[in-house]
Structure 1
Amino acid sequence: MLTKVLLILLGLSIILPSRSEGPHVELENGPSAHDAVYEPQPQAAEETQTLGKLSAATHILNSILNNYDYKLRPGIGEKPTVVTVELSVNTLGPISIVDMEYTIDITFCQTWYDERLRYNGSVESFVLNGNLVSQLWIPDTFFRNSKRIQEHVITMPNQMVRIHKDGKVLYTIRMTIDAGCLLHMLKFPMDSHSCPLSFSSFSYPESEIIYKWEDFRLEINEKNSWKLFQFDFTGVTNITETISTPAGDFMVMTLFFNVSRRFGFIAFQNYVPSSVTTMLSWISFWIKKDSAPARTSLGITSVLTMTTLGTFSRKNFPRVSYITALDFYIAICFIFCFCALMEFAVLNFLTYNRTKPHGSPKLRHPNIRARTLMPLPVSAHQYPDAFVCQIEDSDESDGEEGPSCPAQQSLSTGGIQRPGGCCKWCQKYFCVVPKCEGSIWQQGRLFIHIYRLDNYSRVVFPVTFFFFNVLYWLVCLNL
């Protein structure tokens, strides 16, 4: 019995010192243990506070949406709903000339007040994603000149609703629009265009929905990859108008994106080749008229080249019914090339056909100028239409011989003359020999030496083309 008492006392003496020393050791070496015990306490407080806010926000959101009817607009029957619009342009272009449309990527923001969404609480605003947009009333805004609209849904629908305490609602959506743009190509390629983006309510007339700009705040981020290519962006304007329809009067807001065409590409693709081809056709004026194959091939090649350039310029072009500035320039160049070809045709015809009188052989004399008459077997009174031709050699006509002007027919022994192979009006203004002396009634008129057509063309064609270019560019650049 005594032994058991001693063992109990010994055990107590061992346990009590260890308990008295324990706190000192824990204070010296146990800060981590102390932290491990008391650190979760503030986190638990924050979680409790966050859970409290979440529950409060959920309660507020549920309370305002329980009795909310999204099918009715705010202020129905009392006043029109004012929708404030703000627009941000992400990307503009490309502009399709053939289809007369352009592509624009925008972020479209609409703001209005809905008294049914007012609430009291510590939460200043709610941000709802696209899944809850269908539970709220949203303006039925549509773009009037749109052809195709793509709403971005990667990775979630790119739309957002923000609800404020005072009932202010902000609705934002991102979309890509293919909108029509009526291009007036009369001054092409020195043309400028205003591509509209028009929107309004689809079902609510002006008495129920009013649109207005947020101080016309339009954000344009030109640092993005704009795809205008052949155009330069020059600015943006806006108008507000009311359109009357059988369904009522609707307020329409329109933005105009102004662009101007870059001239460099069209100049190198059309104007330079057309001008050079026209100038190349003038080379035939320095080729001898005896070289018919060379001059003919050059003229035909020039005409065909201008035809190809005219067709190529219309390849990627809308089929408009009017003539553009470029079409007019190419047409004039085509006329110059065609006239250069016709000049040789006229010269060749007059040179090799007018020298051969009908019904008589060609008379040539290499050294002297002589008047040679065809032998008349009978009297001239019996054959009044007998042909009389004067042949002259001229150094100025490159060795060619030609009849005098006007060609003469012997009508009688008294020297009465009638017009020969030439028409009367040709005899008034043209002569085919260097020394052509008209009668008294022809004096003072302009006579043109037909054999010198090449000499005239070397001056007339370049000078006329130069003055045409001066007049053309002055008119086109100042319109």
Structure 2
Amino acid sequence: MLTKVLLILLGLSIILPSRSEGPHVESENRPSAYDDVYGPQPQADEEKLLSEETKPTLSGPHSTLGKLPTATHILNSILNNYDHKLRPGIGEKPTVVTVELSVNTLGPISILDMEYTIDITFCQTWYDERLRYNGSFESFVLNGNMVSQLWIPDTFFRNSKRTQEHVITMPNQMVRIHKDGKVLYTIRMTIDAGCLLHMLKFPMDSHSCPLSFSSFSYPESEMIYKWEDFKLEINEKNSWKLFQFDFTGVTNITETISTPTGDFMVMTLFFNVSRRFGFIAFQNYVPSSVTTMLSWVSFWIKKDSAPARTSLGITSVLTMTTLGTFSRKNFPRVSYITALDFYIAICFVFCFCALMEFAVLNFLTYNWTKPRASPKLRHPDIHARALMPPRASAHQHPDAFVCQIEDSDESDGEEGPSCPAQQSLSPGGIQNPGGCCKWCKKYVCVVPRCEGSIWQQGRLFIHIYRLDNYSRVVFPVTFFFFNVLYWLVCLNL
């Protein structure tokens, strides 16, 4: 009996120390083993994490994972019997779509094609009673892949020529569904829209480029658009590409247009821009004005220097022609003239008149001196006079005349005869300048010295040999008054 008791006590003494030391060894070795080896955690720990995640009363980062099945259930329930081909409120009332627009980039504006580019974020909001739900979620945000499963307004831009939807890295569109059935649909797009430019006041012009949109298939009785207090965001801090224009503001109108398919509500935004004047001034106005002034240099060149004056006049005319062509290079082929075209045309007329002034001067002086084949008699102190033939011979030759050839100090060194006028021997004593047309007889003097003539007394006459002197004053003064009148009219219209 005693032996059995001793054996039992010995067995207990061996078993109890091994059980007490086992857990102690595991607790010391476990951290080092799992720190050095990449792999899954022990099963006991995984079960502990799963049990904590599934507890609804716990709070923390793992508590949101418990709402995923709930969100999936709600989304599946509202889309289960949902027909995206039918608009909300069909047969009862029109669908009201509230529009909000954000402009990311505006421009460039193409004058030649009469269009402009705009990058917008387009937001539409409406109520769909079929999408109401109950739950702790205030809203669901769905990406572009879910858009095809919902009813979306068929809005299109009426004056767009090309439209691009951004799809990098995913389609840039989003749908947000609220628990009360409110739906927000947002999409980003780039539109090339037409803009009819009225270029009559170019380059002092301003334009209003429209952006019109409406429903493609739903008339006004089924879909209505409205602004939410005309909320339009203009992000001018972005790199707008207006270049030659300044943005002056935006306006909007709402109208109803009638088509064979019904009456549609059309919303239109007008982006107002005005042209910057600096580029056009340095490229067109300054060269045109300078070229016109350079053509007046010929008035200070002697009339005997025909090659120099002719070359300068022709060069000025050709330069103005080139400037007129260059100003129309990137310009639409409109049927009316613009303010810039009118200015260049007047400058062309001034250059052409400067060239014609020398042509008239050379023509009249050449016609006067051509019949005079005899050499000119000049002496600084002696005046030669042609003696009058006897009275009897004067009656026999009625065309005879008295001509005094003398050296004149007022001729400014001009070559040609110094005969004031031919004095007819007819009884009436009417003077008849030779070599001139009929109208020149009364108002034009084609000799270097026109003093003392009876025909010019009390009359306004033009001294051909002083035509350059007249032009030096008339051309600049006329051009100055033209510029004053031109800019007053153009800037005040």
Taking structure 1 as the reference length, what is the TM-score of the superposition?
0.87
Give the alignment's Cα RMSD to 1 decimal.
4.1
Cα distance, 1:324 vs structure 2: 1.0
Q: Quick check: 2:403–2:419 contact (8 Å CA) kept in 1?
A: no
Moved more, 46-55 or 264-273: 46-55
Q: Quick check: 1:238–1:254 contact (8 Å CA) kept in 2?
A: yes
**Once the two structures are superposed, what CA deviation does each residue of 1:4-59 show, in whole Å capped at 9, x if it has no partner?**
98666433203224545778899999999999999999999564374542222222
Q: Quick check: 2:132–2:179 contact (8 Å CA) kept in 1?
A: yes
Q: Quick check: 2:109–2:115 contact (8 Å CA) kept in 1?
A: yes
Q: Any stretches of 5+ residues in structure 1 without a counterpart?
A: none
Cα distance, 1:161 vs structure 2: 0.8
In structure 2, do the counterparts of structure 1 residues 373 and 103 end up closer, same or farther at CA, with 3 Å as the change threshold?
farther
Cα distance, 1:428 vs structure 2: 2.1
Cα distance, 1:442 vs structure 2: 6.0
Q: Quick check: 2:416–2:448 contact (8 Å CA) kept in 1?
A: no
Cα distance, 1:443 vs structure 2: 4.5
Cα distance, 1:3 vs structure 2: 8.6
**Once the two structures are superposed, what CA deviation does each residue of 1:190-220 show, in whole Å capped at 9, x if it has no partner?**
1111111111111111111111111111111
**How far apart, CA to CA, are the structure 2 residues paired with 1:344 and 1:287?**
10
Match of 2:257 in 1: 243
**How far apart, CA to CA, are the structure 2 residues paired with 1:17 and 1:472?**
115
Q: Quick check: 1:92–1:103 contact (8 Å CA) kept in 2?
A: yes
**How far apart, CA to CA, are the structure 2 residues paired with 1:374 and 1:80?**
112
Q: Quick check: 1:397–1:452 contact (8 Å CA) kept in 2?
A: no
Aligned pairs for 1:123-142 (under 5 A) are 123-142=137-156
**How far apart, CA to CA, are the structure 2 residues paired with 1:161 and 1:460?**
74
SS at match of 2:359: helix
SS at match of 1:82: strand
Match of 1:196 in 2: 210
Cα distance, 1:414 vs structure 2: 7.8
**Once the two structures are superposed, what CA deviation does each residue of 1:240-294 show, in whole Å capped at 9, x if it has no partner?**
1111222221111111111111111111111111111111111111111111111
**How far apart, CA to CA, are the structure 2 residues paired with 1:332 and 1:31?**
96
Cα distance, 1:360 vs structure 2: 8.5
Moved more, 445-454 or 169-178: 445-454
Moved more, 260-269 or 396-405: 396-405
In structure 2, do the counterparts of structure 1 residues 438 and 8 end up closer, same or farther at CA, with 3 Å as the change threshold?
farther
**Once the two structures are superposed, what CA deviation does each residue of 1:108-138 show, in whole Å capped at 9, x if it has no partner?**
0000001111111122111111112111111
**How far apart, CA to CA, are the structure 2 residues paired with 1:463 and 1:336?**
12
Q: Quick check: 1:190–1:477 contact (8 Å CA) kept in 2?
A: yes
**How far apart, CA to CA, are the structure 2 residues paired with 1:358 and 1:11?**
163
In structure 2, do the counterparts of structure 1 residues 41 and 302 end up closer, same or farther at CA, with 3 Å as the change threshold?
same
Q: Quick check: 2:309–2:358 contact (8 Å CA) kept in 1?
A: yes
Cα distance, 1:398 vs structure 2: 2.8
Q: Quick check: 1:84–1:212 contact (8 Å CA) kept in 2?
A: yes
**How far apart, CA to CA, are the structure 2 residues paired with 1:325 and 1:43?**
87
Q: Quick check: 1:234–1:260 contact (8 Å CA) kept in 2?
A: yes
Moved more, 228-237 or 142-151: 228-237
**How far apart, CA to CA, are the structure 2 residues paired with 1:155 and 1:233?**
32
In structure 2, do the counterparts of structure 1 residues 397 and 5 end up closer, same or farther at CA, with 3 Å as the change threshold?
farther
In structure 2, do the counterparts of structure 1 residues 293 and 35 end up closer, same or farther at CA, with 3 Å as the change threshold?
closer
Moved more, 44-53 or 158-167: 44-53
Q: Quick check: 1:270–1:309 contact (8 Å CA) kept in 2?
A: yes
Match of 1:144 in 2: 158
Cα distance, 1:178 vs structure 2: 0.2
In structure 2, do the counterparts of structure 1 residues 36 and 415 end up closer, same or farther at CA, with 3 Å as the change threshold?
closer
Q: Quick check: 1:193–1:260 contact (8 Å CA) kept in 2?
A: yes
Q: Quick check: 2:414–2:448 contact (8 Å CA) kept in 1?
A: no
In structure 2, do the counterparts of structure 1 residues 245 and 465 end up closer, same or farther at CA, with 3 Å as the change threshold?
same
Moved more, 274-283 or 378-387: 378-387
**Once the two structures are superposed, what CA deviation does each residue of 1:350-396 show, in whole Å capped at 9, x if it has no partner?**
22222234898878777655564899999777776678866554333
In structure 2, do the counterparts of structure 1 residues 377 and 294 end up closer, same or farther at CA, with 3 Å as the change threshold?
farther
Moved more, 362-371 or 315-324: 362-371
In structure 2, do the counterparts of structure 1 residues 47 and 407 end up closer, same or farther at CA, with 3 Å as the change threshold?
farther
In structure 2, do the counterparts of structure 1 residues 29 and 130 end up closer, same or farther at CA, with 3 Å as the change threshold?
closer
Q: Quick check: 2:445–2:464 contact (8 Å CA) kept in 1?
A: yes
SS at match of 1:387: coil
**How far apart, CA to CA, are the structure 2 residues paired with 1:417 and 1:245?**
82
In structure 2, do the counterparts of structure 1 residues 38 and 375 end up closer, same or farther at CA, with 3 Å as the change threshold?
closer
Q: Quick check: 1:287–1:295 contact (8 Å CA) kept in 2?
A: yes
Cα distance, 1:65 vs structure 2: 1.5
Cα distance, 1:77 vs structure 2: 1.4
Q: Quick check: 2:407–2:418 contact (8 Å CA) kept in 1?
A: no
Q: Check if 1:295 corresponds to 2:295.
A: no
In structure 2, do the counterparts of structure 1 residues 180 and 406 end up closer, same or farther at CA, with 3 Å as the change threshold?
farther
**How far apart, CA to CA, are the structure 1 residues paired with 2:408 and 2:8?**
160
**How far apart, CA to CA, are the structure 2 residues paired with 1:43 and 1:382?**
151
Q: Quick check: 1:410–1:417 contact (8 Å CA) kept in 2?
A: yes
SS at match of 2:455: helix
In structure 2, do the counterparts of structure 1 residues 459 and 21 end up closer, same or farther at CA, with 3 Å as the change threshold?
same
Q: Quick check: 1:303–1:338 contact (8 Å CA) kept in 2?
A: yes
| Percentage identity across paired residues of the two chains | 93
**How far apart, CA to CA, are the structure 1 residues paired with 2:343 and 2:108?**
27
In structure 2, do the counterparts of structure 1 residues 213 and 415 end up closer, same or farther at CA, with 3 Å as the change threshold?
closer
Cα distance, 1:433 vs structure 2: 3.6
Q: Quick check: 1:394–1:400 contact (8 Å CA) kept in 2?
A: no
**How far apart, CA to CA, are the structure 1 residues paired with 2:76 and 2:340?**
66
**How far apart, CA to CA, are the structure 2 residues paired with 1:62 and 1:83?**
25
Q: Any stretches of 5+ residues in structure 2 without a counterpart?
A: 45-50, 56-63
Moved more, 257-266 or 424-433: 424-433
**How far apart, CA to CA, are the structure 1 residues paired with 2:42 and 2:391?**
143
Cα distance, 1:101 vs structure 2: 0.4
Q: Quick check: 1:355–1:362 contact (8 Å CA) kept in 2?
A: no
Q: Quick check: 1:149–1:176 contact (8 Å CA) kept in 2?
A: yes
**How far apart, CA to CA, are the structure 2 residues paired with 1:398 and 1:77?**
100
